Amino acid sequence: LAAGERERDLEGSHIVITAGGTSEALDPVRVLTNRSSGKQGAALARAACVRGARVTLVLAGSNIVPPAGVEVVRSVSAADLASAVRELEGKADALIMAAAVSDFTPETSGSKIKKREGESGLTLHLTETEDILRGLTERRVPGRRPRAVCGFAAETGDEHSSALAHAKRKAQAKGADLLAFNDVSKNGFGSDHNELTFLGSSGEILGAASGSKDEVSHAMLDHVAALLTREHG
């Protein structure tokens, strides 16, 4: 769509977007986190705002400055983010999981973990966190909010399959209406540029976009707007 046509096409919709990287406390002074900059999620929030949506941005431990006009909910860990999403999901027309959610979490020690005489290392036991996106699609009731559930898949190719093949399998496993795949071996973390391929819930390719994070956000929101129209109709 031309910039003029997409103007205000999300008016009346409430869009919840998660952004940034979660961090998991090891003890009162240490965390396990990831390199997510939060820029893509913030760009989506800004773009949705411009198009007239009411936007709630659930920000996880990110240094990013939230765009003006969005409501901000802060969260730290994967568990925090999961509960923030649970509280908001029934009020959201569309939910976009752009956050890099920690896959594993340690048991948090209440006191600082100390080096111990005679022990040369430290073994951490990590348990899997809740898959928030998967939970969203599983709990969803047809005709109720959220009407569109979207996510991201950052992949690299390996000896078994291409990055795209991994993303297609992920799209099928997550059951999201829209999964934006990017090959992280091409566009590193923190970049202002992104290349996205949009996949449907069966892994089918719906489109692609490349450009600034603002530009690819608009392309993604074109798909979100189409999903909302479809569901309303």
Shortest distance, CB of residue 100 to ligand CTP, whole angstroms?
7
59 makes contact with ligand CTP (CB under 6 A): no
- The smaller minimum CB distance to Ca ion, of residues 102 and 217, is found at 102
User: Is residue 45 within 8 Å of 64, Cβ to Cβ?
Assistant: no
Is there a binding annotation on residue 27?
no
Contact range with ligand CTP by CB under 6 A, out of 4-12, 55-63, 95-103, 207-215: 95-103
Site string (117-156) toward Ca ion, x via CB under 5 A: ----------------------------------------
DSSP string, 190-230: T-SEEEEEEE-TTS-EEEEEEEEHHHHHHHHHHHHHHHHHH
Token code pair at residue 71: 């409501």
Is there a binding annotation on residue 170?
yes
- The smaller minimum CB distance to Ca ion, of residues 184 and 205, is found at 184
Is there a binding annotation on residue 152?
yes
Residue ranges in 76-115 that form contacts with Ca ion under rule CB under 5 A: 103
Token code pair at residue 199: 């996949």
- The smaller minimum CB distance to Ca ion, of residues 87 and 103, is found at 103
19 φ/ψ angles, rounded to the nearest 5 degrees: -150, 160
Shortest distance, CB of residue 34 to Ca ion, whole angstroms?
9
Query: What does 151 bind: ligand CTP, Ca ion, none (CB cut-off 5 to 8 Å by kind)?
Result: ligand CTP
User: For residues 136, 53, 87 and 41, what is the CA-based torsion angle, rounded to 10 degrees?
Assistant: 70
83 φ/ψ angles, rounded to the nearest 5 degrees: -75, -35
Query: Of 11, 87, 103, 138, which lies in the binding site for ligand CTP, with binding defined by CB under 6 A?
Result: 103
Residue 182: Cβ within 10 Å count: 21
User: Is residue 15 within 8 Å of 55, Cβ to Cβ?
Assistant: yes
- The smaller minimum CB distance to ligand CTP, of residues 13 and 105, is found at 105
Amino acid at site 132? I
To the query of whether residue 34 is one of the catalytic residues in this protein, the response is: yes
Residue 227: Cβ within 10 Å count: 19
Residue 211: Cβ within 10 Å count: 15
Question: What separation, in Å, do the N-terminal and C-terminal C-alpha atoms of the chain show?
Answer: 20
User: Is residue 153 within 8 Å of 180, Cβ to Cβ?
Assistant: yes
Query: Of 48, 88, 101, 178, which lies in the binding site for ligand CTP, with binding defined by CB under 6 A?
Result: 101
133 makes contact with ligand CTP (CB under 6 A): yes
**Contact footprint for ligand CTP (CB under 6 A):** 78, 97, 99, 101, 103, 129-133, 151-154, 170
| Residues belonging to the active site | 34
* Binding residue ranges for CTP: 103, 112, 152, 170, 174
